[in-house]
């Protein structure tokens, strides 16, 4: 099968999508259900229509664009990714899987192929945790592992309110996909790590996805005037939180495994005044590992440290587990199909573990799944200088198209 990728068109569509942003170029900020997110969705829907795809949106804004196969009643083959972007990030994370997925379908259409199974392009609602504090709420709900009714942003506004404002309606209970909806799912994504570029390999096929977890830690002490409250009487919430931050680092390092990582990426200090003793702090903590047991060991070490700090500093510390997901092993048959598709295009392909998590982690709960990685410059992601070459994107798109064709026959 001859697969021609229109790289010029795909590059210009990625650039256009990047203009829907709350941050000035080259940075991209596009939080789910924001005005820019809604404009970006409308842009993609226009492209889907041009390609003759059947579009459906669910109650929380997951978008399905289907190229109907010759046997439309068979379980479909899924692909796709996300278009939301964390504040001040780049233009390739997620979008390559959505617009690359679209170009893969267009390339198959141009080749004259008619798939037996339908091929469906997904745009997941919010892979990033920016709005609701939990990543992948769209694919979690599709997989039936989250019901969405408890999701709130940091100001207490619910998913229900946000999605209604963004124009999505329907019962949350209708979002979960029925068993056997997909026969397979393949997500194209930039690596977000340095390995493919360093090794000069154009294609990575993902064999496992690391287990992510995140915590919110609330520390409460006692505020007061920075001049009037003397040091012996202090119950400074921020000083306590600082000890907890270092305890997270210590816990992650203590496993001795290169795959264990722990990060405190959010620290809100109240009241946030130079002359006020901090009375309350909220930390957000991210811990990951490819071994769920080892990861859970780190979580309990952090918990223990929190209790010790609370006693030592006479503050209260409350820990809330936002998520603690299992890792996934990707489907061996799909890994083989992607490897063969790369070989057929004359592209070297390397098996690898994804340390970042993706919607595929949750799609793998309901269908055989894997991911295709392409190199990105210096492994940089979630930054304005994130970059993948048009050639790298075209190569990934070609392998995706070949994989979809094999799966849909
Ligand atoms: Zn992503």
- For residue 15, the CA-to-ligand 1 centroid distance in Å is 17
In percent, how much of the chain has pLDDT > 90? 95
Mean pLDDT of 139-150: 96
* Element (DSSP H or E) covering residue 263: strand 261-270
What is the helix (H) or strand (E) element at residue 77, kind and residue range? strand 76-82
What does the pLDDT average to over 311-321?
A: 97
Per-residue pLDDT reduced to its tens digit, 352-370? 999 888 999 999 999 999 9
358 CA distance to ligand 1 middle (Å)? 6
**Residue 310 C-alpha to ligand 1 middle, in angstroms?**
36
Per-residue pLDDT, 290: 86
Question: For position 207, what pLDDT does the model report?
Answer: 95
Q: Write the DSSP assignment of 276-292 as a string of letters.
A: EE--EEEEEEEEEESSH
Using the mean position of ligand 1's atoms as its centre, give its distance from the Cα of residue 128 in Å: 7
Q: What is the mean pLDDT of residues 250-271?
A: 96
Q: In this predicted model, what pLDDT tens digit does every residue of 53-101 receive, in sequence order? A: 999 999 999 999 999 999 999 999 999 999 999 999 999 999 999 999 9
| 235 CA → ligand 1 middle, Å | 40
The Å distance, Cα 336 to ligand 1 centre, comes to 23
How far, in Å, is the centroid of ligand 1 from the Cα of 188?
10
**244 phi and psi angles, rounded to 5 deg:** -65, -40
Confidence class for position 173, pLDDT limits 50, 70, 90? very high
Ligand 1 mean position, distance from CA 73 (Å):
30
39-76 as b/e: b if 16+ CB within 10 A: ebbebbbebbeeeebeeebbbbbbbbbbbbbeeeeeeb
Res. 298: pLDDT tops 90: yes
- Answer yes or no: pTM beyond 0.85: yes
Distance from the alpha carbon of residue 93 to the mean position of ligand 1, in angstroms:
5
Q: How far is the CA of 64 from the centre of ligand 1 (A)?
A: 18
What pLDDT score does 78 carry? 98
Q: How confident is the model at residue 211 (pLDDT cuts 50, 70, 90)?
A: confident
Question: Shortest CA distance to 33 belongs to which of 175, 171, 153, 172?
Answer: 153
Q: For the chain, what is the radius of gyration of the CA atoms? A: 22
**Gap between the Cα atoms of 254 and 287, Å rounded:** 13
**Cα of 192 to ligand 1 centre, how many Å?**
9
What span, in angstroms and rounded, lies between the C-alpha atoms of 167 and 151?
18
Instruction: Give 4 Cα–ligand 1 centroid separation in angstroms.
Output: 25
Burial class, 367, CB count within 10 angstroms (exposed 0-12 / middle 13-18 / buried 19+): buried
Confidence of residue 310 (pLDDT cuts 50, 70, 90): very high
Predicted confidence at residue 355, as pLDDT, reads: 87
Kindly give the distance from the C-alpha atom of residue 322 to the centroid of ligand 1, in angstroms, as a whole number: 19
As residues whose CB is below 5 A from the ion ligand 1, the structure lists 93-94
Q: What is the mean pLDDT of the chain?
A: 96
Burial status of residue 242 (CB atoms within 10 A of its CB: 0-12, 13-18, 19 or more) = middle
Average pLDDT of the residues in 399-404: 98
The residue among 81, 73, 128, 125 whose CA lies nearest residue 104 is 81
- pLDDT tens for 27-48 read 999 999 999 999 999 999 999 9
**Phi, psi angle pair for 361, to nearest 5°:** -55, -40
Distance 380 CA to ligand 1 centre (A): 12
Q: How much distance in Å is there from the Cα of 356 to the middle of ligand 1?
A: 8
242's enclosing H/E stretch is helix 237-254
- CA 382 to ligand 1 centroid distance, Å: 9
Task: Report the pLDDT value the prediction gives residue 187, as an integer from 0 to 100.
Answer: 98
**pLDDT tens across 370-386, in order?**
999 999 999 999 999 99
Please tell me the number of Cα atoms within 13 Å of 69 on its side-chain side: 19
- Tell me, in angstroms, the distance from the centre of ligand 1 to residue 328's CA: 17
Omega prior to 26 cis, within 30 of 0: yes
Residue 2 has pLDDT above 90, yes or no: no
User: Distance between CA atoms of 304 and 192, rounded to whole angstroms?
Assistant: 32
DSSP 8-state secondary structure symbol assigned to residue 221: -
């Amino acid at each position: 099968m001859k697969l021609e990728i229109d790289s010029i068109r795909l590059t210009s569509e990625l650039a256009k999508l990047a203009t829907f942003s709350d941050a000035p170029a080259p940075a991209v900020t596009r939080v789910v259900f924001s005005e820019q997110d809604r404009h970006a969705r409308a842009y993609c829907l226009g492209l889907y229509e041009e390609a003759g795809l059947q579009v459906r949106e669910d109650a929380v804004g997951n978008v399905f664009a289907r190229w109907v196969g010759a046997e439309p009643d068979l379980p479909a083959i899924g692909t796709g990714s996300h278009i939301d972007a964390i504040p001040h990030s780049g233009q390739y994370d997620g979008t390559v899987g959505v617009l690359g997925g679209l170009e893969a379908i267009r390339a198959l259409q141009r080749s004259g192929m008619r798939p037996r199974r339908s091929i469906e392009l997904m745009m997941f609602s919010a892979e990033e945790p920016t709005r609701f504090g939990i990543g992948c709420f769209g694919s979690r709900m599709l997989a039936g592992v989250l019901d969405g009714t408890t999701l709130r942003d940091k100001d207490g506004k619910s998913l229900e309110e946000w999605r209604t404002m963004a124009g999505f309606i329907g019962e949350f209970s209708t979002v979960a996909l029925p068993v056997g909806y997909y026969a397979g799912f393949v997500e194209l994504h930039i690596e977000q790590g340095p390995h493919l570029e360093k090794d000069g390999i154009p294609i990575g096929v993902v064999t496992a996805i690391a287990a992510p977890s995140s915590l919110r830690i609330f520390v409460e002490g006692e505020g007061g005037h920075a001049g009037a409250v003397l040091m012996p009487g202090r119950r400074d919430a921020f000083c306590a939180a600082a000890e907890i931050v270092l305890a997270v680092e210590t816990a992650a390092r203590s496993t001795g495994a290169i795959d264990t990582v722990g990060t405190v990426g959010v620290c809100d200090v109240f009241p946030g005044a130079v002359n006020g003793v901090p009375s309350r702090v909220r930390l957000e903590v991210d811990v990951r590992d490819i071994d769920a047991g080892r990861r859970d060991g780190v979580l309990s070490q952090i918990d223990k440290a929190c209790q010790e700090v609370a006693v030592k500093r006479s503050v209260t510390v409350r820990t809330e587990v936002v998520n603690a997901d299992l890792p996934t092993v990707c489907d061996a048959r799909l890994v083989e199909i992607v490897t063969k598709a790369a070989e057929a295009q004359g592209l070297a392909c390397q098996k690898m573990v994804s340390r970042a998590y993706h919607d595929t982690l949750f799609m793998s709960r309901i269908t055989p799944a894997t991911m295709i990685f392409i190199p990105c410059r210096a492994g940089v992601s979630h930054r304005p200088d994130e970059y993948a070459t048009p050639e790298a994107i075209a190569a990934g798109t070609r392998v995706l198209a070949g994989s979809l064709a094999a799966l849909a026959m």
